[in-house]
Amino acid sequence: MNVPDTPPARNGFAIRADRVSRHYRMGDALIRAVDQISLEVRPGEFLALLGASGSGKSTLLNLMAGLDRPSGGAIFAQGRDLATMTSEELATHRNQTIGIVFQSFQLLPRMTLEENVELPLRLAEIPRPERPARVKEALDRVGLGARAKHRPTELSGGEQQRAAIARALVNRPMILLADEPTGNLDSKTGDEIMNLIAGIHQPEIGEGRTIVMVTHERALAERYADRIVTLSDGGISREERLR
């Protein structure tokens, strides 16, 4: 799975959802978590998916990540339809095209930070000699270069989320997907994390990566995102361009 950095989108969109749906069946009831949503995300755009709990924003993010498959419609990332990809291709997509940051960090507690950050490189079959420099670069970037040998349990919540961001970026993906990245943090630490994510997004500071962030905090979305898409009952209820 050793592939070069993801190429830019050929169709002009980093991500495009075309009447994408994700329905679940619970007993006799059909849950329409995501229902016929069409959405485009331009390369280098910072999109905030806003909505109440159960609105379908995390489900939509999972569809973009290739962690879940749509029940209908199509969803494209970098020009390729995720719905038609094999599980192997989806794995490559998750490893190479996107980086994911979760609300609960999802670091493996029995590994040190550098081992956690090295995981995507292992999966990408990056040659072993190249890995230490890549890991150090990623950890230095989030300000955790000195904590490389520490385990997640020895770090604060903010540090853990920074480590998770380093892990998401170590394979140099063009798209960063963040699911409530500040949800488990206090407001000050949350601001630090958002500044870090904004730095990754803004071309004058970072590399201009596309960012899709799920949040339920409007203030946070308004402060950092270029565009806010509000979801309600599995559909888009409102769309606001801020920048």
Partner 1 sequence: MKLGDLTELAARNLRESMLRNSLTTLGIAVGVASLVALLSLGVGLQQLVNRSVARAGLFDTVSVRPRQNTPFGQPGGGRRNALDASGIVPPRVLDDAARKEIAALPNVIEVNPEVRFTAEARHEPNTQLVMVSGMAPSSQSSGTLDGLIGSFFSGPDAEELIVQGDMAKRLLNEGQAPASLLGQQITLRFAARQALPAPSEQAASEAPNQAVGPDEEAMGFSIVPSEKVFRVVGVTPASDSGGGGVGISNAGVYLPLAVAEKLQVVQGSDLRDVSREGAAVGMRYAALNVRASSPAAVAQLETSIAHMGFTAFSLIDVTRNLRTFFAIFDLFLGIFGSLALAVASLGIVNTLVMAILERRREIGVLKALGAANRDVRQLFFVEAGVMGLMGGIFGVALGWAIGRVIHFATTVYLKRQGLNSPNIWSVPWWLVLGAIGFAVAVSLVSGIYPASRAARLDPVEALRYE
Could you give the C-alpha distances from 134 to 110, 200, 203, in angstroms and in order? 21, 16, 21
151 or 223: whose CB is closer to partner 1? 151
Contact 200, 169 (CB under 8 A): yes
| Among the listed residues 42, 111, 216, 235, the single contact to partner 1 using CB under 8 A | 111
Residue 94 sits in the site that holds partner 1 (CB under 8 A): yes
Pairing assessment for the beta strands 175-179 and 98-101 based on DSSP bridges: parallel
* Binding piece for partner 1, criterion CB under 8 A, among 98-106, 153-161, 217-225, 232-240: 98-106
Distance CA 34, CA 24 (A): 10
- Find the distance separating the first CA and the last CA of the chain, reported in whole Å: 37
Binding of residue 100 to partner 1 (CB under 8 A)? yes
Asked if residue 87 binds partner 1 (CB under 8 A), the reply is: yes
Check residue 160 for interaction with partner 1 (CB under 8 A).
no
Asked if 149 is part of the footprint of partner 1 (rule: CB under 8 A), the reply reads no
DSSP per residue over 170-184, as a string? TT--SEEEEESTTTT
**42 class by beta-carbon count within 10 Å (0-12 exposed, 13-18 middle, 19+ buried):** middle
Among 7, 8, 30, 108, binds partner 1 (CB under 8 A): 108
Q: How long is the chain?
A: 243
Q: Confirm if 225 and 48 have CB atoms less than 8 A apart.
A: yes
CB-nearer residue toward partner 1: 173 or 190: 173
At 51, the amino acid letter reads G
Shorter beta-carbon distance to partner 1: residue 64 or 228: 64
112-141 residues in contact with partner 1 (CB under 8 A) are 119-120, 122-125, 128
Q: How far apart are CA 69 and CA 198, in angstroms?
A: 29
Q: Of the ranges 37-45, 86-94, 152-160, 197-205, which one interacts with partner 1 (CB under 8 A)? A: 86-94
Task: Report if residue 88 touches partner 1, rule: CB under 8 A.
Answer: yes
Where does this chain bind partner 1 (CB under 8 A)?
Answer: 1, 62, 65, 67-68, 87-88, 91-92, 94-96, 100, 102, 106, 108, 110-111, 119-120, 122-125, 128, 167, 171
